[in-house]
A and B are shown apart, each in its own frame.
Chain A
Amino acid sequence: MDTQDILLDVQGLETQFKMPDGLVYAVNGVSFSLANRETVGLVGESGCGKSVTMLSILRLIPSPPGKIAAGSALFHGQDLLKMSNEEIRQVRGAQISIVFQDPMTSFNSVLTIGRQITETLETHLGMSSSQAKKRAVELLELVGIPKAKDRLNDYPHQFSGGMRQRTMIAMALACRPQILIADEPTTALDVTIQAQIVELVKRLRDELGMAIIWITHDLGIIAGLAQRVIVMYGGYFIEEAPVKELYGNPQHPYTIGLLGSLPRMDLDERQQLVSIEGLPPVLLEKPQSCPFVPRCRYAIERCQQENPPLQAVGPDHRVACWVDPQKGRAR
């Protein structure tokens, strides 16, 4: 990757939550960068820290109990994690915006759809209210809401799930952000509506030229959408590779397990699904061993003693594992 091209550069991010049971180590020193116009998929199961990573970068972690303990996130040479509240507010929603999973709870239910879009435009772009209204109609048309002008005065409950998610995307795009963070935006939707939203985001990405970080637990969606995929487990990045390399040549036992546990609709033979036994870890202490070791079928002694760092195993392909699962022995 050309360094000129890097839009966002995150180094050593650590986020913790102070809970009654103790300190929860949600994100444990993750580093990544995002290039201009690039789409990255961030994949993992619930509780693996994928949303917390992105919320930390936008400083949307409620504090207390949350705390960003270490790290930096450079965006246009400025560290998002060190900005004042006023400065980060200028970035949020304008240059980096986010689309949340649940389109019902992420709207304000007592404001009209129109007001919620125009608010962003007036705050960030200083538009007058009539300008903002006009732009809001354009935005709703852009995401394919029929009769957009009439719908401005509707309240969120009058919209269906798919329409709410489209509106959410319209809001996120209001200020032409450079980065769109999509936090499981289609998980709550039906497959035919999911397909509509994915097509919409792809089209807008190409038209507006933005970079996207798409958070999901669904390896299916990412396959057709992202250029690069990061797999997260227990607060760590455990594998990172270009999309075809990750699906064609997965190296971490967890990634292999995840891919094996998905039934393939396009294949004929009914293979026994590979299940990953056991449960995701509780992050109440910073693991000294590999976080996946209790569920790993390839584990060797070293895995119990040392947490493996991300290491390059090929061009742009990094993996955190002491074992080479293809060969079944230590790397």
Chain B
Amino acid sequence: MAVDDQLLLRVENLVKYFPVSSGSFFRRQASVVHAVDDISFDLHRGETLGLVGESGCGKSTTGRTILQLYRPTSGSVYLEGVDLVKLKGKDLRMIRRKMQMIFQDPYASLNPRMTVGEIVSDPLLVYNEAKSRKEIDEEVRYLLGLVKLDPSYTNRYPHEFSGGQRQRIGVARALALRPQLIVCDEPISALDVSIQAQVVNLLVELQKQFKLTYLFIAHDLSMVRHVCDRVAVMYLGVIIELADCHELYHNPLHPYTQALLSSVPIPDPNVEEKRQRTILKGEIPSPVNPPSGCRFRTRCPIVQAVCAKLKPEWREIKPSHFVACHLVA
């Protein structure tokens, strides 16, 4: 693999299938959920790549498989040139400290029996980072300050905090080991509207301060546009379009991206009045039996015969604008 200083993460032909067993006594493997099916992309230092799509399209599975929380069925994940898929045991544990995750649900991702101080300092203890009790306390106070929480909260428990504050605790924990890559898995979708902006602004500030690289998984396309440099659109386990943020929102090429963008409501009655909508028919098919050829063909407004036969190629239509569709010239 070429040496590129700016390249932090390279995902190559990543595949993750989950076996589904039949309900019978013998638990035979009945079928397979094609959660992530052959995706590839690069992530450069300091950038934010948005991964968007509807529920069940495999975006969270992608994030978790990259972090090796799920081991991939096949494919490679290179972090600074090291293939994580080939690592195990202690080697994997040591490299994992470079990658952290912020979870969607701040109510489920903090242990209710641990104090805030224990939660935030846990990564330091796991990796034997801290030398003395005093140093740990100082570090925890510093981390809480970073996420704009009162450092005197260290002895409180998660239930004493609101959703937005809990999400900040999650961010502080993710920062404890000074990671390079943070996978943000829908970090704001469980929060109230007025609180979402607080957390997003914080993530943007921290990125500048620590030169963090984010994989930002979300379904809110307006927020993705606001925070991301590049955006990848997923549908039923595959990436169907990838481009710079500005380009994707101004010149979406894949019919699914176009429909997805036109479904997002815009908070302005004057704009809404004049908008032409592409309303997709039907719903996302089951990933157990994805459609042949192009996976979007069952809902595609411009579907042709070729779409059922051939899997569309992943093509670079313009510099750094990739799309997988037979019908894009």
A residues apposed to B, CB below 8 Å: 45-46, 160, 162-163, 190-196, 198-199, 217-221, 223-224, 243-244, 247-248, 257-266, 268, 270, 272-277, 279-280
Contacts and interface: CB of A to CB of B under 8 A. Distances in A.
A17 B275 CA distance: 43
Contacts of A262: 193, 222, 267
Nearest to B200: A273
A276 B197 contact: yes
Nearest to A280: B192
Interface centre among A199, A244, A273, A274 (most CB of B within 10 A): A273
B265 A218 contact: yes
Contacts of A258: 193-194
B201 A273 contact: yes
10 contacts: A45-B192, A192-B279, A195-B277, A195-B279, A221-B265, A248-B270, A260-B197, A265-B221, A265-B264, A266-B266
B197 A217 contact: no
Given A258-B194, A273-B197, A273-B200, A220 B283 contact: no
Contact of B270 (A163, A192, A244): A244
Interface centre among B201, B265, B280 (most CB of A within 10 A): B265
Interface in B188-205: 192-198, 200-201
B197 A275 contact: yes
Interface stretch (B132-140, B174-182, B255-263, B315-323): B255-263
A220 B264 contact: yes
B269 A243 contact: yes
A162 B194 CA distance: 27
Given A45-B192, A217-B192, A247 B226 contact: no
Contact of A275 (B55, B194, B266, B273): B194
Contacts of B264: 191, 220, 265
Contact of B260 (A191, A199, A270, A274): A191
Interface centre among A258, A265, A273 (most CB of B within 10 A): A265
Q: How large is the interface on B (under 10, 10 to 19, 20 to 34, 35 or more residues)?
A: 35 or more
Contacts of A221: 265
A274 to B, nearest CB: 7
A265 B250 CA distance: 10
A265 B54 contact: no
Contacts of A280: 192, 194
Contact of B268 (A163, A223, A277): A223
Interface centre among B219, B223, B272 (most CB of A within 10 A): B272
B269 A275 contact: no
Which 8 A-B pairs have CB atoms at the shortest separation, nearest pair first?
A224-B272, A220-B265, A263-B226, A261-B197, A195-B263, A273-B197, A275-B197, A190-B54
Interface in B30-46: none
Contacts of B200: 273
Contacts of B192: 45-46, 217, 280
B193 A265 contact: no
A163 B284 CA distance: 12
B226 A270 contact: yes
A193 B283 contact: yes
